[in-house]
Amino acid sequence: MTATDLIVQRSDERRSFVTREIGGETLIVPVTGHVMDLESIYVLNPVASRIWQLLAAPTTAERIAGTLSAEFAVSDGDAAADVAEFVDALRTRGLIQELTDRA
Q: What is the pLDDT of residue 103?
A: 46
Residues 46, 61: Cα–Cα separation, whole Å: 17
**Cα torsion 21, 27, 31, 35: sign:** negative
Beta bridge partners of 29: 18
pLDDT over 60 at 102, yes or no: no
Residues 71, 42: Cα–Cα separation, whole Å: 23
Highest mean pLDDT: which range of 23-27, 41-45, 79-83: 79-83
Quick one: pLDDT band at residue 14, thresholds 50, 70, 90?
A: low
99: region left, alpha or beta (phi > 0 left; psi from -120 to 50 alpha): beta
User: Quick check: 5 and 83 in contact, CB under 8 A?
Assistant: no
Q: What is the pLDDT of residue 86?
A: 94
Quick one: pLDDT band at residue 3, thresholds 50, 70, 90?
A: low
pLDDT over 70 at 8, yes or no: yes
